[in-house]
Amino acid sequence: MTEMTTPSRRQLLTLIGRMGGAAAMYQAMTAFGHAAETQFTGPPVLTGAKPGASVVVLGAGLAGMVAAYELTKAGYSVKILEFQDRPGGRNYTLRGGDSFTESDGTVQKVQFAPGNYINPGPWRIPHHHRCLLHYCRQFGVALEPFIQLNHNGFIHSGSAFGGKPMRYKEVATDFRGHTSELLGKALNAGALDQSVSAEDKEKLLEALRHWGLLDNNMAYTSSVHVSSQRGYDQPPGGGRNGAPTPSQIAGLSDVLDPQVWTAMSFYFNYVMQTTMFQPVGGMDMIGKAFARQVGKLITYNAKVTKVAQGGDGVTVSYKDAPSGKMQSVSADYCVCTIPLSIISQVEMQVGPKLAAAMKAVPYAGQLKMGLEFKRRFWEEDDNIYGGHSFTDQAIAQLSYPNDRMFSKGPAVLLGAFARDLGAFQLTAMTPEQRIEAALKQGEVFHPQYRKEYMNGVSVPWSRVPWILGCTSRWSEANREKHYRNLVEMDGRVVLAGEHASYYGGWMEGSLLSGIDAITQIHERVTAA
């Protein structure tokens, strides 16, 4: 007999991740305090700055721009160096007339109709991301609802329901009904008498009967009552043929398919709960709003090559892309928001602990596709307004636009949000092959795909030249060993960005890390 041991938190998270995927992992991380609610209570108070104190910020993403904005308000002299010819970093939007160049030189030209767009990076804002919402209010960024849970969206698994996509409302109701029946049987058989008092047993049985839509025999069966939640074969009407026809419930083995309960648990995640928002007109409205505040401080097309520091300050060397000339900027302190996936290209004069931390964090390589169609057939034919559909195919997820509902003319939906193996498979293809795969896999949900398709664009983040990845992916072991070293000041240099937060992959994490970085600088300045 082997001795039973309690799994470590790391082992438990790994097991949850293997069984339930990233969504289940994130939910577990939240329970363990790794992804708790944002602690933002207001902008930093940076009073008593030393006159003439200067800071150079590397990167005009959200972390860099919020750092520059708050430092400037406090009286610091600030300069920003940005590799690209635009602000925002991953906070950007592709519209008709734009182009996207992959790291191998492949160019895709976006052909969307005026007003249509895709957000390759961040695309939604949780209601509890208070820091981001604060700056949206302050800078006048108009927001609109982003629909998360749509009961009319689809869940598809090749190994369940005969490969047929099912509406979320159908599988969620069936899962609840079958599990309620099983728990009711266990209660009536006395299997839980040691855990439940006689009074609570009766309460629980009554709750299961109503919650699970069970009949008088505590069984989950097809009925008009059940169809009132899962949907009908023929919905209620008026007149002579007004009587509804109940739909046929799915079997227990089908609703126990991992794709089903993983998709359902996606919406339980703290960070994925409603209400969510999006900027009107595209996610880059946020980056542009920040740039209106600090744009005069930004030097674009500046490729940082070296960060040197000493007792008196920091000197940053960079190449001006248009001219090829090398230039430099000196300041008292430096906030570096360059992604860790790119930092190896920069000669950084930092201590061994920070140097090791910068090398310790890998990046995930998600892929997104925006597909433009002649009309909003998902609304007109399938009654889907916003929300998502999930599949176990490589594309993983479809997401339906939340703006301009009921409008005529072309519209863009997110035709893929691929992760892990699916992202690797699609990234290895040519842009044309990716579109073909998305159309073929999307037809599982919508047979209208090919007939209505116009054009599309794919963004494989591992081939985005200025980051070579999408978001940082800390492991629990790496956090224990390197996180503190990564986020604390090293001499006169401090790092910021989503990688320097417990909200990796979210704009909120970028902003909060930027604020913490400048707070450390200010504490150093005022202490001196």
pLDDT at 37 (0 to 100): 58
Concatenated DSSP letters of 460-528: EGGG-TTTSSSEE---HHHIIIIIHHHHS-BTTEEE-SGGGSSSTTSHHHHHHHHHHHHHHHHHHHHH-
**pLDDT at position 486:** 98
Q: Which two tokens stand for residue 502?
A: 């417990």
Residue 193: pLDDT band by 50, 70, 90 thresholds? very high
In the chain, where the domains are located: 94-123+364-463, 168-266
Segment 474-478 shows an average pLDDT of 94
% residues pLDDT > 70 (the chain)? 93
CATH of 94-123+364-463, one of 3.30.70.20, 3.40.50.300, 3.30.70.1150, 3.90.660.10: 3.90.660.10
pLDDT tens string 392-417: 999 999 999 999 999 999 999 999 99
pLDDT of residue 275: 85
Q: Given pLDDT bands bounded at 50, 70 and 90, which one contains residue 1?
A: very low
CA distance 173 to 353: 52
Q: Residue 450 pLDDT more than 60? A: yes
Q: Is 168-266 in the same CATH topology as 94-123+364-463?
A: no
Q: What is the mean pLDDT of residues 213-242?
A: 96
For the chain, how far is it from start to end, CA to CA, in angstroms?
A: 63
Q: What is the pLDDT of residues 121-169, one digit of tens each?
A: 999 999 999 999 999 999 999 999 999 999 999 999 999 999 999 999 9
- Mean pLDDT over 208-226 rounds to 97
Say if residue 271's pLDDT is above 90. Answer: no
| Rounded mean pLDDT, 19-27 | 41
- Tokens of residue 121, six digits: 């990076």
168-266 has CATH 1.20.1440.240 classification: yes
